[in-house]
Chain A
Amino acid sequence: MELLHRAAHVMDLLATPLSPSHYLELVNPLWSGRRLCARIESARDETEDARTLTLRPSRGFRVPRAGQHVRVGVVIAGRQMTRTYSISSSPDRLRKDGCFTITVKTFEGARVSHFLVRDARSGTMLSIGQPEGDFCLPDAAPARLLFITAGSGITPVMSMLRTFASRGAMPDAVHIHYARHSDDVIFRDELRRTAMIYTRRLHPLQETAPKAHFTAEQLDERCPDWRARDVWACGPQGLLDALTAHFARAGRASSLHIERFAAPLLAIPDGPHESARGGAVHFRKSGLQTRTDGRKVLLRVAEDAGIDAPHGCRMGVCHTCDATLLSGCARDLRTGHEINEPGARVQLCVSAAAGNLELDL
């Protein structure tokens, strides 16, 4: 092992200031040992506006846990843009043929999702991150489960259900899904098939009425024993907020596990309230100065000032956009904590100005 380590060190020196991997990538980008990327192997339309992409990741990609997500970077008009997507395949798939899938639903104004659904072809290279996130089932899955999903929130749950199915160990599970229309239900046929195989365990997909929203009565009706189940829910902010409130009232908050698609940011009140104040932002390296309020995330402030700041997930996960605070005060909008230590790293995508500040950007 020690010898291998030394050999790797010598190889690095031979390639300095690059690494041997830079040269391997010339032949096949998937051989890269230093940055993760993936090639689109195939694309399959799920619904009118959702598509499943089969991705072959480069070496070094960790086997995900069912329910985790990955950062995916695409190049649009020469510019790299990154978003986070849940993995929809079972981790067993990666072990079997070295691939995993993401299922992307596009919507108005979503540039990255639109690119992945409409423009990406097999052969397109994407940059990716390691699987992340703790929206996962524990190793010993609870005996009775309830999944509540809406829209593309079905994807991480699909990964879980596929994992149960591929291992032939389906727990007692109920799945309630919200969709605008029956045709909009991603994986509908597969879910129905799976439910037919596991008739005694997996209850047929509970499709709600079109455009329905979560209500307590509906939950009682669709899954009368919900208080006895561990719940995994994924979907838009509104659904998750309603669920969180409902489960808290019922004293079942600890049994509810949720996955959000965006960092839940604190609502900073309007007006003269002290915490609403923004200030002057000085980007030292770029030599730019601008003013902002106390709500707009600093990444957007930088971008609006014309700075092409590197960034990744835009939800406070990946730390690609971190910048050093030189002076002043920023606020982490997820926690409300003020960051005022010069030299501290600020996650620009989830932080705003709290007074004047200066960033090393």
Chain B
Amino acid sequence: MNLHKDEIETIGRELDALEREIHASLGDRDRRYILRIIAIQRTLSLVSRLVIFASIAFLPRWGHALSGWLPFFTVLAAGTLGLGVAKILENMEIGHNVMHGQWDWMRDPEIHSSTWEWDNVCPADQWKHSHNFVHHTWTNVLGKDRDIGYEIMRVTPEQPWRPVYLLQPVFNLLLALLFEWGVALHDIDIQAISRRRGLLPEDRRRLLGVAKKAARQGAKDYVLWPLLAGPFFFWVLGANAVANLLRNVWAYMIIFCGHFPEGVHVFTEEQVRGETRGGWYVRQVLGSCNIEGGKPFHLMSGNLSHQIEHHLFPDIPSHRYPEIAPRVRALCARYGIPYNSGSLSRQFGTTTAKILRLSLPTSRGAATTILG
């Protein structure tokens, strides 16, 4: 990357102007969009839970014309899938984006970053700190952005190898399955705790917050809704667990594709010292990757498939990213800034290959420099 200082400042001004333009155009149409998505999500989640209950009526033991394992599992799977989709929508297109303050401009206390709590074991306040503040400010800066490998994995050759990374393929799989727990414990600096061999009051407060939130989430999915099914407790519990699992694996895939695919850039603290607004923008582009797909795919990814646009403008409502993406891409082309965009299979494939490769001791790479 060899950008002149003036070029970086021009890029900064152009992107600032784009942001102002979109902010000024927000209005009723956008409000209708988020209200509709919220209504669809809530309806889907309630209906799916009822479908899961309805599947019980098809158990073979009832011996009626429609009963049997096949109809039972078909209906159960439909309900489970619906609930999984509802949870994905809630966490990604709604929760993640509302907590970013993308809808604060509506001044609606119901849909506001300061009041939103999401369907996830991670408490909203901790998420807003670890994600909105730490990750979005220090995107891909080694030693600062804890999203680089989530402190347990080596996702870029610039991270020095340690023997524990030999187990990384296993960590990777576990993180995919238990992703919401990874997210929940993300705001707690585990490395610092192990260095100190003790918990600070701040750590205790965070852990207690996670425990409280997790207790409520667990009571809902694994105790109360199953109890409503009486003797069929375990069928409902299983369906809810699978729905949570679906959400975990999907969120893991989308999020890992955001910053780890082949070709993404990382930076050192040294390089970002004294960074200007323009430099920050360029770093966001270089450190993020987009996933290509159709409208439903973008919706299901919470529009994090437009990770580059999201990182440039974290508080622009997500459904506007598709319309600004071509403009950002054209700007990048003009200045020769690589715009990392590919299919889900390309982005996820290279991410997974990299994680497997980097579990072995490979040579250290060099972090990217924006200024030539």
Say which residue of A13, A22, A23, A311 sits within 8 Å of B224 (CB atoms). A13
* With known contacts A77-B28, A78-B26, A308-B104, A17–B119 Cβ distance under 8 A: yes
A248 interfacial by beta-carbon distance below 8 Å: no
Quick one: closest B residue to A78, CB to CB? B31
A26 interfacial by beta-carbon distance below 8 Å: yes
A80 interfacial by beta-carbon distance below 8 Å: yes
How far in angstroms is the closest Cβ of chain A from B292? 30
A305 interfacial by beta-carbon distance below 8 Å: no
Chain A residues contacting B30 (CB-CB under 8 Å) are 78
Interface string of B102-119 (1 = CB under 8 A from A): 001111111010100111
Quick one: closest A residue to B110, CB to CB? A35
Quick one: closest B residue to A286, CB to CB? B101
How far in angstroms is the closest Cβ of chain A from B279? 17
Instruction: Please state if B107 and A311 are interface contacts (CB–CB under 8 Å).
Output: yes
* With known contacts A10-B224, A22-B42, A26-B42, A79–B216 Cβ distance under 8 A: no
Instruction: Please state if A26 and B43 are interface contacts (CB–CB under 8 Å).
Output: yes
Instruction: Please state if B114 and A75 are interface contacts (CB–CB under 8 Å).
Output: no
* With known contacts A13-B220, A16-B220, A77–B27 Cβ distance under 8 A: yes
Interface string of A17-37 (1 = CB under 8 A from B): 110001100100000000100
Chain B residues contacting A81 (CB-CB under 8 Å) are 107
A320 interfacial by beta-carbon distance below 8 Å: yes
B233 interfacial by beta-carbon distance below 8 Å: no
Instruction: Please state if B46 and A17 are interface contacts (CB–CB under 8 Å).
Output: no
Chain A residues contacting B268 (CB-CB under 8 Å) are none
Interface residue count on the B side (C-beta < 8 Å): 28
How far, in angstroms, from A22 to B119 measured CA to CA in the complex? Answer: 14
* With known contacts A22-B42, A79-B106, A17–B219 Cβ distance under 8 A: no
B164 interfacial by beta-carbon distance below 8 Å: no
Instruction: Please state if B27 and A13 are interface contacts (CB–CB under 8 Å).
Output: no
B217 interfacial by beta-carbon distance below 8 Å: yes
How far in angstroms is the closest Cβ of chain A from B241? 17
How far, in angstroms, from A17 to B224 measured CA to CA in the complex? Answer: 14
Instruction: Please state if A16 and B216 are interface contacts (CB–CB under 8 Å).
Output: yes
Instruction: Please state if B27 and A14 are interface contacts (CB–CB under 8 Å).
Output: no
Say which residue of A13, A26, A77 sits within 8 Å of B39 (CB atoms). A26
Quick one: closest A residue to B216, CB to CB? A16
B225 interfacial by beta-carbon distance below 8 Å: yes
Instruction: Please state if B27 and A17 are interface contacts (CB–CB under 8 Å).
Output: no
Quick one: closest A residue to B20, CB to CB? A306
Residues of B225-261 whose CB lies within 8 A of A: 225
How far in angstroms is the closest Cβ of chain B from A211? 37
Instruction: Please state if A23 and B107 are interface contacts (CB–CB under 8 Å).
Output: no
Chain B residues contacting A10 (CB-CB under 8 Å) are 224
Instruction: Please state if B43 and A308 are interface contacts (CB–CB under 8 Å).
Output: no
How far, in angstroms, from A77 to B224 measured CA to CA in the complex? Answer: 41
How far in angstroms is the closest Cβ of chain A from B280? 13
How far, in angstroms, from A26 to B104 measured CA to CA in the complex? Answer: 22
How far, in angstroms, from A50 to B65 measured CA to CA in the complex? Answer: 66
A123 interfacial by beta-carbon distance below 8 Å: no
How far, in angstroms, from A311 to B112 measured CA to CA in the complex? Answer: 12
Instruction: Please state if B109 and A23 are interface contacts (CB–CB under 8 Å).
Output: no
How far, in angstroms, from A22 to B116 measured CA to CA in the complex? Answer: 13
Chain B residues contacting A133 (CB-CB under 8 Å) are none
Chain B residues contacting A210 (CB-CB under 8 Å) are none
How far, in angstroms, from A29 to B14 measured CA to CA in the complex? Answer: 43
Chain A residues contacting B119 (CB-CB under 8 Å) are 17
A310 interfacial by beta-carbon distance below 8 Å: yes
Say which residue of A14, A26, A80 sits within 8 Å of B220 (CB atoms). A14
How far, in angstroms, from A266 to B117 measured CA to CA in the complex? Answer: 40
Instruction: Please state if B107 and A79 are interface contacts (CB–CB under 8 Å).
Output: yes
How far, in angstroms, from A217 to B42 measured CA to CA in the complex? Answer: 65
How far in angstroms is the closest Cβ of chain A from B125? 12
Interface string of B201-216 (1 = CB under 8 A from A): 0000000000000001
How far in angstroms is the closest Cβ of chain B from A323? 10
Instruction: Please state if B27 and A16 are interface contacts (CB–CB under 8 Å).
Output: no
Instruction: Please state if B106 and A16 are interface contacts (CB–CB under 8 Å).
Output: no
Instruction: Please state if A79 and B217 are interface contacts (CB–CB under 8 Å).
Output: no
How far, in angstroms, from A39 to B102 measured CA to CA in the complex? Answer: 27
Give the one of A17, A75, A79 with max B CB within 10 A.
A17
Quick one: closest B residue to A18, CB to CB? B42
Say which residue of B27, B42, B225 sits within 8 Å of A23 (CB atoms). B42
Instruction: Please state if A75 and B109 are interface contacts (CB–CB under 8 Å).
Output: no
Chain A residues contacting B220 (CB-CB under 8 Å) are 13-16
How far, in angstroms, from A22 to B39 measured CA to CA in the complex? Answer: 10
Chain B residues contacting A311 (CB-CB under 8 Å) are 107
Instruction: Please state if B31 and A23 are interface contacts (CB–CB under 8 Å).
Output: no
Instruction: Please state if A78 and B43 are interface contacts (CB–CB under 8 Å).
Output: no
How far, in angstroms, from A81 to B217 measured CA to CA in the complex? Answer: 34
Give the one of A23, A35, A79 with max B CB within 10 A.
A79
How far in angstroms is the closest Cβ of chain B from A91? 27
* With known contacts A26-B43, A77-B27, A310–B224 Cβ distance under 8 A: no
Residues of A35-82 whose CB lies within 8 A of B: 35, 75, 77-81
How far, in angstroms, from A221 to B225 measured CA to CA in the complex? Answer: 74
Residues of B1-58 whose CB lies within 8 A of A: 26-31, 39, 42-43, 46
How far, in angstroms, from A180 to B236 measured CA to CA in the complex? Answer: 69
Say which residue of B29, B31, B118 sits within 8 Å of A17 (CB atoms). B118
- Report 16 cross-chain contacts, Cβ distance below 8 Å, ordered by A residue: A10-B224, A13-B219, A14-B220, A14-B225, A15-B220, A17-B217, A22-B42, A23-B46, A26-B42, A75-B31, A75-B106, A77-B28, A78-B27, A78-B29, A79-B106, A311-B107
Known: A16-B219, A78-B30; 16 extra A-B contacts, CB below 8 A, are A13-B219, A14-B224, A16-B220, A17-B117, A17-B118, A17-B119, A17-B217, A18-B42, A23-B46, A75-B31, A75-B106, A78-B29, A78-B31, A79-B107, A80-B107, A308-B105
What are the 3 tightest A-B residue pairs by CB atom distance, in nearest-first order? Answer: A78-B31, A17-B117, A80-B107
